[in-house]
Amino acid sequence: MHIPDGYLGPQTYAPAFAVMGGFWAIASVRLKRALRLRQVPLLALGAAFSFVIMMFNVPIPGGTTGHAVGAVLVAIVLGPWAASIAVSLALILQALLFGDGGITAIGANCLNMGVVMPFVGWGVYRLVAGASPAHSARQWLGAAAGGYVGLNAAALSTAIMFGLQPMLARDAAGRALYCPFGLHIAVPVMALEHLLVFGWVEAAATGLVVAYLQRAAPEMLPYAASQQARFSRRAVVTRLAIGLGVLVLLTPLGLYLPNALRAGSAWGEWGSEEIREEVARETGGQGYVPAGLERAEKAGWKAPLPDYALPGQASASLGKLSFSYILSGAIGVAGLVLLTLATRRAWARKDEGGTAGLDAHSGQT
What is the smallest separation between the CB atom of 175 and another protein, expressed in angstroms? 5
Task: Tell which positions 102-141 bind another protein, by CB under 8 A.
Answer: 102-104
Q: Does 280 bind another protein (CB under 8 A)?
A: no
- Judged by CB under 8 A, the residue of 15, 57, 264, 295 near another protein is 57
Q: Strands, E, within 264-359: which ranges?
A: none
Q: C-alpha distances in angstroms, 143 versus 77, 114, 343?
A: 11, 17, 21
Compose the 151-180 pattern: x for residues touching another protein by CB under 8 A, - for all others: --------------------x-x-xxxxxx
Q: Which is nearer to another protein, 50 or 251 (CB)?
A: 50
Compose the 19-48 pattern: x for residues touching another protein by CB under 8 A, - for all others: -----x---x---x---xxx-xxxxxxxxx
| Exposure of 333 in the CB half-sphere (CA atoms within 13 A) | 17
Residue 74 CA to its chain's centroid (Å) = 16
Other beta carbons within 10 angstroms of residue 48's beta carbon come to: 14
What is the smallest separation between the CB atom of 31 and another protein, expressed in angstroms? 10
Q: Residues 156, 190: contact at Cβ < 8 Å?
A: yes
Inter-helix orientation angle 10-35/39-53, to 10° = 130
3-state SS, residue 312: coil
- Judged by CB under 8 A, the residue of 59, 243, 258, 335 near another protein is 59
Q: Quick one: which segment of 96-104, 124-132, 243-251, 252-260 binds another protein (CB under 8 A)? A: 96-104
What is the smallest separation between the CB atom of 100 and another protein, expressed in angstroms? 9
Q: Quick one: which segment of 49-57, 107-115, 269-277, 337-345 binds another protein (CB under 8 A)? A: 49-57
Q: C-alpha distances in angstroms, 319 versus 69, 252, 265, 323?
A: 44, 9, 19, 7
Task: Tell which positions 341-360 bind another protein, by CB under 8 A.
Answer: 359-360
Q: C-alpha distances in angstroms, 306 versus 196, 215, 250, 251, 277?
A: 33, 51, 19, 15, 20
Compose the 235-274 pattern: x for residues touching another protein by CB under 8 A, - for all others: --------------------------------x-------
Task: Tell which positions 194-213 bind another protein, by CB under 8 A.
Answer: 204-205, 208-209, 211-213
